[in-house]
Structure 1
């Protein structure tokens, strides 16, 4: 169950930078801020739950890795961020690191 909490925490982690991006426009200021704060709270609580059975360093690295890779994908698909081979390689390395941490646990 802890790994499910951690995966969900990582997915919720994607929401706060997306909320901050949305908050950069006048129309999105309050909805984006609300999204960011809600996702921070949910993500933090789920990370706390996951850390009850997963070591701190592993939980934090997996949490940030899911958040970073997921935010990258949202940036490319929704906000038109550049997708270059080197950027894709970088995110691939993050994902490989997350997988390695899970396999090592």
Structure 2
């Protein structure tokens, strides 16, 4: 159950972050509203994940790492932002670090 709620937290944070870009400095009402609602849902869901017993280090690493990776992909694919090989390597390292935290906690 905790991982399902964590997925909600991640997707809400990604929605809010992408909407932040689309809000153009909070000058567009719909994306601006999505920023506020998205972050409220994301932090509420993350709090619920911690209450469900997922360790804070693991939960935050998955939340932040997945968020960074998804926003980078969305920026590249849908928003026309460029990404270099070094940036891709950085994303791979972030994901590897999250996996290491998760696997290390299982022992």
Considering the TM-score relative to the shorter chain, is it more than 0.5? yes
Post-superposition, which runs of at least 4 consecutive aligned residues in structure 1 deviate over 4 A? Answer: none
Q: Distance in 2 between matches of 1:40 and 1:8?
A: 11
Q: What's the CA shift string for 1:12-35, capped at 9, x where partnerless?
A: 111111111111078x61111111
Mark the runs of 5 or more structure 2 residues left unpaired by the alignment. none
Instruction: Spell out the pairing of 1:1-105 with structure 2 (5 A cutoff).
Output: 1-24=1-24, 29-52=28-51, 53-105=53-105
Q: Distance in 2 between matches of 1:91 and 1:11?
A: 17
Task: Report how many aligned residue pairs link the two structures.
Answer: 104
Q: Distance in 2 between matches of 1:8 and 1:65?
A: 14
**What TM-score, normalized to structure 2?**
0.87
**What TM-score, normalized to structure 1?**
0.88
Q: RMSD value over aligned CA atoms?
A: 1.7
